[in-house]
Amino acid sequence: MWTHRQSAEGKFQSVGILRELAPTYRRDFVVWIHTAKRLETRERRIRESIALLAAGKKLGLK
């Protein structure tokens, strides 16, 4: 099973960017990932979040 922690450990840059975001933007990412009903959807959202953060983008601005 793929977890948030495993994905974040390999992407320190994304984690650092997430920590620098305002609390509202951080919450948006967490809620978006957490509201996925299927495990596959949650894993896809985690990967997309990492890619967005690495590119310096926020949710909704893909």
Amino acid 51: pLDDT:
86
CB contact at 8 A, 59 and 29: yes
The per-residue pLDDT for range 2-55, each reduced to its tens digit, is: 555 655 555 667 777 888 888 998 899 999 999 999 999 999 999 998 888 888
In terms of residue numbers, what domain contains 44? 4-54
pLDDT score at 36: 95
Residue 50 lies in a domain: yes
59 in a structural domain: no
- Predicted confidence at residue 56, as pLDDT, reads 82
b/e per residue, 38-53, with b = 16+ CB within 10 A? eeeebbebbeebbebb
Tell whether 26 is covered by a domain: yes
Distance CA 2, CA 48 (A): 14
Q: What is the pLDDT of residue 34?
A: 94
61 domain residue, yes or no: no
Whether 38 is covered by a domain: the verdict is: yes
In a domain, 60, yes or no: no
Total domain count, the chain: 1
What is the reported pTM?
0.71
Is 12 within a domain?
Answer: yes
Does 9 fall in a domain? yes
